[in-house]
Structure formats: structure tokens, C-alpha cells
Structure 1
Amino acid sequence: MAASPTRDDFDRYMTPNYSPQQAIPVRGEGSRLWDQADKEYIDFAGGIAVNALGHCHPALVGALTAQANKLWHLSNVYTNEPALALAKQMVERTFADKAYFCSSGGEANEAAFKLARRWAFDNFGEKKHKIISFRQAFHGRTLFTVSVGGQPKYSEGFGPIPGGIVHAEFNDLDSVRTLIDDDTCAIVVEPIQGEGGVTPATPEFMQGLRELCDRHQALLVVDEVQSGVGRSGKLYAYMHYGVTPDILTTAKALGGGFPVGAMLTTDRVAPSLAVGTHGSTYGGNALACAVGLAALTTIDTPEVLAGVERRHALFREHLEVINRKYGVFKEIRGMGLLIGAEMSDDFEGRARDILPLALEQGLMILVAGPNVLRMAPSLVIPEADIQEGMARLELAIGQLVDPS
């Protein structure tokens, strides 16, 4: 019988662009996981905001197995029923008129940025190509999306990067006003900066961006790869702001763990993505879309979305209790079940140190940069699991504060 893979096998056989924790989970149920040694963990990481219904949710397992016995893949030479059903539901539940499917958030953003430039080219000419994004933004790992993202560490060493991209300050409308002009084709924004530190946009900022786009005939592109599909307490976070995007990107929770992404847009903009302008071999895959439809319709219910708000309050309450005891956090922020706890001055840059300590206590958690502890659990995580997970987090933070 072959030996089970070990963490050393990662270093031996995988490229070194990741540095995973030592435990190797092998099975999951709900918001709990078990590793090779059958040690149990509570999951506050959610696959980085992906496992929105936890692990092995019956609705997703049922959709996947039913579709697996019918049809897996056709390519886009043909369409398929799951893709059409998912597109219909996404359009009916959002601002959009049209949907484009792909396999990841980076691909969704690549399509969105290409569409924005092509729309401007079709309607105004080649000079209107400038994209405004924001410092500390994250939009993916392709060369185009990493260039639009406002974190130079992700594009360093991969130059020359695409031109025509400028970066303003998040939540600072004046910084946008100094950059925008009639050559701007799009403003690209996350309603909640995720990788940049779990920072929500203010209502005034989002509304101001919409007004500036309208004034300069530019498109508002809203990146909801991390904040979308119930994560904020609404189906999409833009719905909190009273602002309608021209293009929206979504992935992560859309498949509940199965790789799927989408770009949504309007009938005004969609014609610029004409036949031959863009494509994806796996986009609209029948398996992915069947699971995506099950995830979307399970999450977009009053019960689940109201439960997100209730769980947010529980997370915040427990984090504040821990902070009163240890003083490790400067600020607790976020929306719904995308929550960030910024480290205090005495523990600046030490958020990542908590991950292995939490793992020892049986808790999986995330960071958003070196200074923010991030939580993105299942949207239906049982309240008892929140309480137990926070008890484990408190033990881990106790070790951080006093290693003896």
C-alpha cells in the first residue's frame, strides 16, 4: 500500500510559490475539518472566502453528483443547460443583463478589464483607455490584473507591465478627481478591499465613484470576487451602497468550492464582447455551473443572508472580548462574514504568527497582509462552532502574547 503524501512532498514536488501550513486536511463536514492524523479543526478560513456553505454541503454534493452522471464538458462550441440556468438566475437577481463564465476571479477580472477597454474603443476611440484602480487593491494574478491591482509586490520582477493604469487612494474621492479625465475608460474598485486589509468602502466613496464615471463616460467595474455571493450579508456588496455597476466580477463563493467565475454586465456594454473578442475553454463548464446554481440559490435566501449579519455580530463580540484581555488589535472591521482584525502597535506585522499557533489549537484562520488577521468562514457556520473557534483563537493569542 502506498504511503500517504506528507508536507515534505510539497517542498519536493511543488513549485515554491506557496508555503502551506503543516497539517494536511483530508475530509470535511460543515465548518469542521480533519487531517491525516484525524485531528479536528474548526474552519474560520473558508478556503479564502470560497467555501460559503462549508464542506460537503448536501445541496452542492447533490448538484455535483447529479450533473456528473449527465454531462461534464462541451466547450463553447456548444452551450449547455446548467450554464443557461445559472446565467438566468444571476441576471434576474442582480443589475445585470448578460453573464460571461470562466473558472476563477482572476479570469473574471481579465475579461472585465478587456471589455472596459474594448467598449471605450468601440464608442470613443483608442485614446480612451486609462484605468483607475486603488492602492492596496487586489484583482488577480494575471499580468493585466496584477498591474491593475495596487500592490507593487505582486508585479515586481514581471515587467514591463501593461500601461494606462493609475492608482488612487481607497476611500479618497479627491485622489480620484485628480486622476480622472475624458481618456478614462473605467474605475475598478472592490467594495471591501480583501487582500488589502479587509477595509470596506464608505457609501460616499462608492456613490462618488459612480458620479465621476457618469460625468466622464467611464465604466464602474466592481470586483466582488471576495465580497460577493452573500459574504457581505447581501447577495452582492454593491447592494449595500445604492450604486449600480456597469460590470461586476464574481467567483470564490459562487462555486462553494468548485472553480467557477463570472463577469456580469449590461446590454449597453455587452455588445463589445462580440464573437471572437474573448473566450475560455472551461468557461460555462456544465459541472461548474450546476454547482454554481445550487450555491447561488441556496445562499440567496432571507434566512441565510440574515444569518450572516447575526454571525458577524457574534464574531465581533468575541474578538472584542479577546482584545480587552490581550490588547492585540487596533481595529476590528469588515462586513458580514469577511472580518479583519488589525494588529495593535505592539504586535505590528505579527498577524501571520497567529496562523500556526491557531492550527495547534485546532483552528484554521487567515491573514490579509502582515498586519491583519482575517476571517471568512462558511456563511452558515453553526453558532456553537463560532464560540468554540473563538475559544481556540483566544488560546492561540495567549501563546502569542506570552510564549512561555
Structure 2
Amino acid sequence: MPRICLLFFLTLFCLACGQDRRELRQRKDKVVETIADLGALPKEVTHPKDNPSSAEKVELGRMLFFDPVLSGNKDVSCATCHQPEFNYAEFLETSIGVNGLGTGSNRRFAANNTIQFVKRNSQSVLNTAFNGITNNQPYDPESAPMFWDLRAKGLENQALEPIKTLEEMRGATIEDHRILEEIVERIRKIPAYNQLFSKAFAGEPQPVNHKNLSKAIAAYERTLIATNTRFDQYMRGDSNALSTGEKEGLNAFLVTGCAKCHSGPMFSDFKLHTLGVPDTENRKETDAGATKKYDFRTPTLRNLRYTAPYMHSGKFATLDQVLLFYEDVAGGKILNPHVKSGQIDTLATHMDVNFKDISRIVEFLNTLNDDEFHKTVPTSVPSGLRVGGL
């Protein structure tokens, strides 16, 4: 009998040792990001070689950004969906572009409307001058990734896409291959714009063209930066910029795996990931993204206080809801019925977000807010139309 007991306990001991070794290997295999995988934003912006900034160019871009003359029906501007008070985004699940009335949460479609909601949540324009930036690497603004599906590179290319998109600014009255020509023709008939373009692009025989239009808007957007958050101050050497609780939240952010995708100075790897985020109910069709795999770009985590709701479909109203979603994903729960379990990115399924960590992580994320950015809205625009749209 004693011999049997001894064999039993030896077996248990060996099993326990084997389990300990497996857990040790798993811990060794798990790579935990460090604060070095994050970073402070540069204080200065890098401009493309063929689009150096100037005060005249920025002022022209500012006028164009707020002028509904750029839309097919002259009823919506860039600023309609990218409002200064909402961090150059807006407080709607998905935007109402053409055929809309009002601003912010009061915006609605006009009577007898046949246009759908914009396909995805309006991303902030703030800090897009740094899109794609990585630590200790040269920054190329011409290759900066744009949009939820990465369909454009550089702010110059990004600036023209909404003008060409039916739901956003083009409308149904002008075909997409004609809209830029139509907009340029309109602008050439406005004396004030001719003067502004001539000053911004001095020496060009015909400065009013769609390329210069995009360059002016991009030059203005590169002035919309917020680079002095308390986290930036902390990374630049001020150890007192974060509280003890915020530092604990930073550690939780790293340990749970958030920084595997939300990395670098912009807290984004600017890659596509399939997460199974539920679709917006503002559109009838499902949104499978550009690759048809339901993968969308990692958004920045900067200035989240002002840019709710979150995710490409705008389905989550609070940061707590976003983190609870990641807890569900790691637990095997998929909220989008069109997405299969095998499609979910393993970087998300291997996360270790727990309810107890959520409040601490949110506390840290609030250190990424900086309210000191340009919010000035022009009192009028050269077209004479209503600033910002109807």
C-alpha cells in the first residue's frame, strides 16, 4: 500500500512539473511590448518635397476645407464631417454627407433624400500629418496610409477622395469622372479664389487646378496637430506628467497586448486587422472592407476623448465598450455574424484584457488627449456659401 501511494504522488509531481514547464515556455514565448514600442510625436511636421508649406497655401487650404463649393450640390464641405469641436471628426456613428442639414448630433437628411449614410465612421483629420510614422525611422509623408481601408497614400491623395465619393461630397448629379473638372471650373469663376491660388502657387501659368487644390488642403491639414499630450511630456523626460494610476494603466496597456497593434508615436501600426466588429445599422449591406476580409486599419488612440463613437462602424459609444469588445474577442465571442472564428486576427484573440484592467487602461488613454490645436473657423468663404455647409 505505501508503494502504491508513493507511485501516485510521484505521478502527480511529474504532471505538475510538466504543467509548470509548459506554462514557463508559454510565458517565455509571449512577447510583451515595452514603453519603447510607443513614443512621443515629433514637434514638427515633415512636408512632401513637391508641396512645401507656406502661409498663403495654408490659408487657401483652410478656405477650401470649409467651403461647400467643393461638393456636387454645394451643400457639404470637408468640415461638415471633420468639425473642429469634435477633434476634426464628428459625433455620429457614420456621417451624413450630401443631402444633409444641420451639424453634429442634430444633422439629418433633407426631405425626399435618396442618398445613403457615408459608409464608415468619420476619422479625425488631427495628426494625420503623422500617419504611418514609426520610431527611429525617416518619415515619408507621400506614403502615409489613409482611410480605414488604406486606399490612398498621402494627404494630397486623401483630400480628393471624399469629393469623388457619392455619399460624402459628390452627390448623384455629377459623375465621378467629371466631378473634379466641375469643381475646378467653379473655382476659376470666383475672383477671390483666383487671387488666393495665384499667391499660393506663384509663377504657375494656371494655378487653379485639382492638383493644387489637393496640395492646399493637405498643407492646411498638416497644421492640425496636437503634439503636447501629457504622455508626450512623459516620454520627453517629465516623469511627473503621469500620475501613479496612469502609469499603472500604461503598464496594463502593454501587458494585455494593446500595443501589439497600437504602437509607435501614433499608437497605430497602420495595418489591416480582422476583429469582427459589428456593422453599422445605417447601411443595409454589410461592410467587408477593401479586401473583403472584414479587415480595417488600426486607428490612432490619440485624442479619443473628442472622437467618439469608435471603430470603423462607429458601433461603440465609449472606450469601456471598446475594451469589453476586445475581452469578448479574446474569449472567442464574435459580434459580426459575417465573420468566422478563423478570420479573427490572432493578435486580438491572444490579448489578455480583463474587466479589472479596463478602468486603468482608460485612465492611461486619457493622457493621450491634447486640446491645444487650431480650431479657428473662417467667418466666410470665397464662394459666398454657408461656411461648413448647410
TM-score between the two structures when normalised by the length of structure 1: 0.27
More strand by share: 1
